[in-house]
Amino acid sequence: MKDVLSRIGIGSATVDTVLPSSTVRAGESVDAEVRVEGGSTDQDIDAVYFAIETEYKTDEGFKDAIVEQWQLTEPFTIEADGQRRFETTIDVPRRTPVTTRSTAVEIETGLDISMAVDPEDEDHVEVEPTPRTQAVFDALSDLGFTLRSSSCQATRGSLFGTSASFVQEFEFRPQGGEFAGDVDEVEVVPVFDDDRLTVYVEVDRRGGLLAEVTDTDERHTKLTVEDADAEAVRPRLASAVRDLS
């Protein structure tokens, strides 16, 4: 009876991942300890697996997305009331979304158990931007822009030159500086391709209601960011916004 109950999740093994901090940075690694606790009966574990997950907006609503997933262990048996510990390093991909009020990211750890409910552990993490993405944000701040909102959205055709199913868009509004009063908002989309960061920039001008309805107030460009240097990025961003305003 215990074996039957464990197969439907009652008295089954459990898994818990312990991170040194709830904050991680995209593009960097974090050490973790995975703790597997045996249930009321011996169970064969096919694998311990990880997945970094988020969600993005589509025309039909929101869809779950796996940023990255991988297997930690080979098959093993966890004895009843037994304990296993695994030390590992989690590589957080550069393309992992930056967490904001509207964007959440979690690390899911699961036990793959044949013909049974897979025990899972979910850890919500705060994801900070890569140094180069942070340089873009700092440069926009220097130009008088503040972050208004952010969201992950399904890619629109081949505009962003990526095979990923979604991108993260950040909307900035001018609170001062030379663009206040002329630019409604600037939207940036960071896209990583191998070791290169391409930032797509869209500028919404204050062109009046007719322009907004017809979307003629929107213009696009892109630039490549080589270094995490806000001072180097700032004049290029300023020039791009100026040209598109």
Q: Containing H/E element for 236?
A: helix 230-244
Tokens coding 186: 């600037």
- C-alpha pair distances (Å), 183 with each of 45, 100, 210: 57, 24, 16
Per-residue pLDDT tens over the stretch 167-226: 999 999 999 999 998 899 999 999 998 778 999 999 986 544 444 444 544 678 999 999
Q: Which of 131, 151, 141, 138 is nearest to 25 (CA)?
A: 131
Chain-centre distance of CA 122, in angstroms?
15
Domains, the chain, ordered by start: 2-128 (2.60.40.640), 131-244 (no CATH)
Q: What region, left, alpha or beta, does residue 66 occupy, with left being phi > 0 and alpha being psi -120 to 50 degrees?
A: beta
- Looking at residue 163, its pLDDT comes to 74
| 96 in Cβ contact with 126 (< 8 Å) | no
Helix, strand or coil, per DSSP, at residue 137? helix
The ranges of the chain with pLDDT < 70 are: 1-11, 115-118, 156-158, 161, 205-218
- Looking at residue 3, its pLDDT comes to 43
- Pairwise CA distance, residues 103 & 81, whole Å: 38
- C-alpha pair distances (Å), 75 with each of 5, 82, 136: 21, 16, 44
Q: Using the structure block, give the residue that is written with the tokens 């081949």.
A: 158
- Looking at residue 117, its pLDDT comes to 65
- Looking at residue 209, its pLDDT comes to 40
